[in-house]
Structure 1
Amino acid sequence: MASRVPLVDHLVLEPEPRLRSAVCGTCEADFLTRRNACASCGGTDFGERTWGTDGTVVAFTIVHRAAPGVPVPFVSAIVRLQDGPIVQSNLVDVEPDPAHIVLGMPVRLRTFVAGTDDNGVEAVAYGFAPLD
C-alpha cells in the first residue's frame, strides 16, 4: 500500500478519516488551523479535539472560474458538522448544479487522493458528499 499523508494538518487519516481542531485550554474555542494564541481570549494553551464525519450544508456556491489546472465547475460549501464547528470545503460526488444541492442537505466527510509524488506518496484531501 502506498504511503499517505494528509494535505492539511486538520485532517486525520488513521484509524479512520476525521477532522481535528486545536481547542483553547482557557475558553474552549476551536480552530482548524494551528494557533499561537486564541483569537477569542488570547490564551496560549491548546489541546486537540476530533470531530464526527456528518454535517449539513449551510451555504454553497458553484465556482466557474479557478486557477489554471483546477477543473471547473465545482461546489464550494460551508458545512456545519453535526457535533460542532463550521468548515469550508468542496462538495464531492454531486453535480455542480443548484437543482442537486439544497441548504440543510446532509453530507459526510470523504477523502480522496489529490496527487502522488515521485516516490508514490499520496496526498489525501477531503470534501463532503451527500448522504444517500
Structure 2
Amino acid sequence: MSKQVPLVDYLVLDGPDGSAHLAAQECVSCQAHFFDHRIACASCEGEEFRTVDVPTEGELRTFTIVSFAAPGIAVPFVAAVVDCGGTSVRANIVNTPPDPEHVRLGMKVRLALTTVGTDAAGVEAVGFGFEPVA
C-alpha cells in the first residue's frame, strides 16, 4: 500500500481503529471548536485548547450547487456545511449527483475520503468530503 498524507492537518488518517476522522481544537473555557491553529478563542478569548475527535457522521445544514469555478475545477459540485455532533464542518458533498434530487437539507451524511493526487514517489494526498448515508 502506498503512503498517504492528509491534505489538511485536522484530517486524521490513522485513528485508533484504523479509520479516518477529523480532529478539532476545543476551547477549554467554552468548548467552541475550531479546525485551525488558535492563540485565543474567537468566542470567549480563552487561551487554552485541547484536541477532540469530531463524529464521522452528521446532518447537512446548508449547501449550494456550484456551477462556475476557477479554471481546472470540475463543476458542478456541492459545497456544504455539515453539523457533526455540534461541530460545523465545511466540505463538499461527494459520491452523489450534484442536484436537488439527491442533495437535501437534513440528509444524513458520513465522512468520505478522496484522493487529491499522487506524487512521483507514490505518496497519495488525501482530502475529505461527506457522502449520503444509504
Which band: TM-score by shorter chain? over 0.9
Instruction: Report the CA distance between 1:9 and its aligned residue.
Output: 1.1
Instruction: Report the CA distance between 1:63 and its aligned residue.
Output: 0.4
- Looking at structure 2, the residues matched to 62 and 43 of structure 1 have their Cα atoms a distance apart, in angstroms, of 36
- Looking at structure 1, the residues matched to 32 and 103 of structure 2 have their Cα atoms a distance apart, in angstroms, of 30
Structure 1 segments unaligned to the other structure (5+ residues): none
Structure 2 segments unaligned to the other structure (5+ residues): none
TM-score (norm 2): 0.93
Match of 1:50 in 2: 53
5 Å-filtered alignment, 1:1-132, equals 1-15=1-15, 16-81=19-84, 83-132=85-134
Instruction: Report the CA distance between 1:27 and its aligned residue.
Output: 2.1
- Looking at structure 1, the residues matched to 31 and 64 of structure 2 have their Cα atoms a distance apart, in angstroms, of 30
Task: Provide the alpha-carbon RMSD of the alignment.
Answer: 1.0
Identity of aligned residues (%): 48
Superimposed CA distance per residue, residues 8-50 of structure 1 (whole angstroms, 9 cap, x where no aligned partner): 1111111211111011122221111111111112222211000
**The residue matched to 2:117 in structure 1 has which SS?**
strand
**The residue matched to 2:36 in structure 1 has which SS?**
coil
Instruction: Report the CA distance between 1:99 and its aligned residue.
Output: 1.4
TM-score (norm 1): 0.94
Flag as ranges the 4+ runs of structure 1 deviating above 6 A: none
